[in-house]
Structure 1
Amino acid sequence: MSLATGRPSQILSIQYVRGIAAIGVAAFHGSLLTNVSFSVGNAGVDAFFVISGFVMWLITSGRNVTMAAFFGQRIKRVVPIYWVVTLFLALAASLKPNLFPRENPTVPHVVESLLFIPHVAPNGAAWPLLIQGWTLNYEMFFYLLVGLLLIISASTRLATLTVFIVILTCIGRLFPFVDRIALTDTSPLLLEFLAGVWLAQAWISDRLPPVWLAWSMLWSGASVLVASNWLPNVEGFRVLIWGIPALLILTGLVSLEKSKTIRPRLRLLKLLGDSSYSIYLTHSLAILAITVLLARIGVNIAGQPYLLAPILVGAVAIGVVFYWLVERPLAGLLRPVRFPQNIGTQDP
């Protein structure tokens, strides 16, 4: 608990959803190789976006935060291990191109990936070198918006951010942009960040739903997500089909936790939540490594649904090990770096 604000240093249900979301995305990518229908796993990204909006508003609202402090902490939290994994992939793809037939780590491609610049890759795909890094391009743009708003009056930030994001998404619907930067910065996915911001504001102002409604939101959101696994063309309606259920689930959970209706103390989920960023960044490489090892002993995972579970367990385990051996030590090395009016190094 923060004595200065009365807010918890971590909201456990948020941490748990982070872990589940990261595993969901990993399961989705694994399902593509094993011929399992699990498109709903990709909804983990939408949960991440809502969580990001929630967390960014919670750590800045009502606090004397400088722009330098905010940007500095975001860079320390997001950039180092993303660069580590991206540069490792660039090196591996250069040395073993047969393992990465679709990757072409040219210097411009790698640099634009490291700098979170949306672009078209040399292979024609609209992804950074590390594919899941596309979500970080959205994250960084949202951080930019929140950070810039710190120079205006705290009383007008919420309204300003809301209007600005709504205008951007309307522009994106009115004009058929081709440029990747314009597409990212006017995407309706920005509304998911905004939804998280408003949920955080409800938390701060004690305007969360009552217990009965929180339970209803939790179960209805989960039910829609499960049902969406069998819907075609979800991507075209992603904010509605995945974004809104993610918001409902998170609203229900944080409401129940704040009212002390549930008191989650699950060590495994806490570990997975803490490791979620590492799991998310490393899972595609981990799945590839597991696939190569299985191939060497004569096991072809293509179209083998029963292999999804062990592959997923292996990928998650590698992500947790990466968290312990790389992310945590790297965060410790960077912790002494100070910025004016530091807002702390740990997200809620």
Structure 2
Amino acid sequence: MAVFLFHLLPVFNFLGLESTWYEAVCSIGYIGVDVFFVISGYVMAQSSGGLSVGLDSVKSFAIKRLLRVYLGFWPMFLLMLLLFVVYQPEFLSTGNLVLSFLLLNPVQEQLIIPPAWSLTYELYFYLIIALSLFLLPKYRLWVVVVMFLVSAVSTLLSDQDHFFISYFLMEFALGYFVYGFANRLKNYIDIKSALVLVSLSMAAFVLWGILAVGVTRVLTAGLFSACLLHLLLLETRQLILPVWLQKFGDASYTLYLLHMIVINAVMATGMSQWFKDQGLALVFYITVVVLTVLMSLFLYTKLEKPVYKSAVKKLS
């Protein structure tokens, strides 16, 4: 949701709407990507932790993860491609459709769905975790530790970020570490302490991490994401989340992909301009936010989830 509101900010400005505090909050919404990477690292540790050593585990892990990513992505890719064909065909000559379709290009300016650049890093992390399944469970954590250290050293030594040793790998590793040490941490860090850590790490991000890259981003946005994840884990152990909130979380991947299609559609079709001219800018903006969330929930429930389950069942 944070990334959605961040990308929707130009529409907010185009409509002539003004709110200093709202724009300030939305302008740091890109931190949702850091949260996404950290949560992904946690999920990978959780989903691979109980797997045995060998090729069968690698195949099972890879099939489930690839289906999860691509079966959610490809329908959105086709929707965005149709939008470009109708309204912005000139873009299709500048991007690589094949690499964009296969999620093998991390350069967002060349992608049909720009936020999908993060999924290229996601797939790379899947590869690392899949390869670690050839090792005994007690050695797998060391693969992630080495990944973290290589990324940290290379980032400190070079001003340029390189894909295969990117600082984003450190954020995946942080999530993996949260899973590995969660049981130990809960004995030392209760909910109040976790709230303090979240507050301090958020303050550090606001003071030093905005627009930062490299190690600074990891030490601010990355650590905030890890602290937030640990807090949520503590909360969910003591509280039962409302059903609607659980469904919203389940549909977050769909929202992550769908929102750019909606934004492009409302701008390219002239809808934004029409509602602005009618003096209905705020109503239109709120409607776009609500409808996008509802469409995400619908597409996840009726398309992404059943297709994924069916595909896993057939291929397992």
Correspondence list, 1:328-347, <5 A: 328-339=305-316
| 1:105 to 1:40, Cα distance in 2 relative to 1, 3 A | same
Amino acid at match of 1:147: A
Q: Percent identity?
A: 25
Shift of 1:61: 1.2
Amino acid across the alignment from 1:159: W
Question: After superposition, where does 1:243-282 map in structure 2 within 5 Å?
Answer: 243-258=222-237, 262-282=238-258
> Is the Cα–Cα contact under 8 Å of residues 209 and 217 in structure 2 kept in the other structure?
no
Q: Distance in 1 between matches of 2:180 and 2:12?
A: 42
**Is 1:52 aligned to residue 40 of structure 2?**
yes
Would you say how many aligned residue pairs link Structure 1 and Structure 2?
298
Does the residue aligned with 1:40 lie in a helix, a strand or coil?
Answer: coil
Tell me how far apart the structure 1 counterparts of residues 82 and 37 of structure 2 sit (CA, whole Å).
30
User: Once the 2 structures are TM-superposed, how far is the Cα of residue 186 of structure 1 from its aligned partner?
Assistant: 1.5
Q: Deviations over 1:166-222 (max 9, x none)?
A: 213422443455xxxx7222111111110111111123xx21234764322234414
* Pairing 1:27–2:26 present: no
How big is each residue's C-alpha offset from its partner over 1:287-319, in whole Å with a ceiling of 9 and x where there is no partner? 333444633644269xx6786544322221221
Match of 2:87 in 1: 96
Distance 2:189 2:179 in 1: 20
Instruction: Tell me how far apart the structure 2 counterparts of residues 278 and 40 of structure 1 sit (CA, whole Å).
Output: 21
The code of the aligned residue for 1:24 comes to A
Matched residues in 1 for 2:283 and 2:291: separation?
14
Q: How does 1:70-219 map to 2 (within 5 A)?
A: 70-97=61-88, 103-104=91-92, 109-118=96-105, 120=107, 125=109, 127-175=110-158, 177=160, 183-203=162-182, 206-210=183-187, 213-219=190-196
Q: Do the aligned partners of 1:162 and 1:194 also contact (CA within 8 Å) in 2?
A: yes
Whether the 8 Å contact between 1:215 and 1:252 is mirrored in structure 2 is: no
2:59 match: 68
Alpha-carbon spacing, 1:298–1:198, altered in 2? closer, same or farther (3 Å): closer
Q: How has the CA–CA distance of structure 1 residues 219 and 128 changed in structure 2, closer, same or farther, with 3 Å as cutoff?
A: farther
Note the alpha carbon deviations across 1:217-239, whole angstroms, 9 max, x for none: 23441464378568684332322
Q: 1 or 2, which has the higher helix percentage?
A: 2
Task: Output the amino acid matched with 1:285.
Answer: I
User: CA 1:82–1:245 in 2, change beyond 3 Å: closer, same or farther?
Assistant: same
Shift of 1:58: 1.0
Q: Quote the offset at 1:149 in angstroms.
A: 0.6
Question: Could you tell me how far apart the structure 2 residues matched to 1:172 and 1:296 are?
Answer: 44
The CA distance in 2 between the partners of 1:186 and 1:53, in whole Å, is: 16
Contact 1:30 1:308 (C-alpha < 8 Å) held by counterparts: no
- Tell me: CA distance 1:231–1:156, structure 2 relative to 1, closer, same or farther (3 Å): closer
Q: Determine which structure has greater relative contact order: mean sequence separation of CA pairs < 8 Å that are 6+ residues apart, divided by chain length.
A: 1
- Whether 2:288 is the aligned partner of 1:311: answer yes
Q: Deviations over 1:253-301 (max 9, x none)?
A: 213434xxx2132122111011111111101112333444633644269
Q: RMSD of aligned C-alpha atoms?
A: 2.8
**Unmatched tracts of structure 2, length 5 or more:** 14-22
Distance 1:335 1:63 in 2: 17
Question: Is the CA contact 2:209–2:220 (under 8 Å) kept in the aligned structure 1?
Answer: no
- Letter of the aligned partner of 1:146 in structure 2? I
Residues 1-48 of structure 1 show CA distances to partners (whole Å, capped at 9, x for unaligned) of: xxxxxxxxxxxxxxxxxxxxxx11111111232132312211111111
Structure 1 distance, partners of 2:131, 2:226, is: 25
Q: What TM-score results when the alignment is normalised by the length of structure 2?
A: 0.83
User: Equivalent residues in 2 for 1:218-233 (5 A)?
Assistant: 218-222=195-199, 224-225=201-202, 228=205, 233=210
Mapped contact 2:154–2:165 kept (Cα < 8 A)? yes
Q: Distance in 1 between matches of 2:162 and 2:282?
A: 35
Contact 2:107 2:117 in 1 (8 A): no
Q: Distance in 1 between matches of 2:58 and 2:189?
A: 39
Q: Whole-Å Cα distance in 2 between the matches of residues 248 and 75 of structure 1?
A: 28
Structure 1 residue 119, shift from structure 2 partner: 5.3
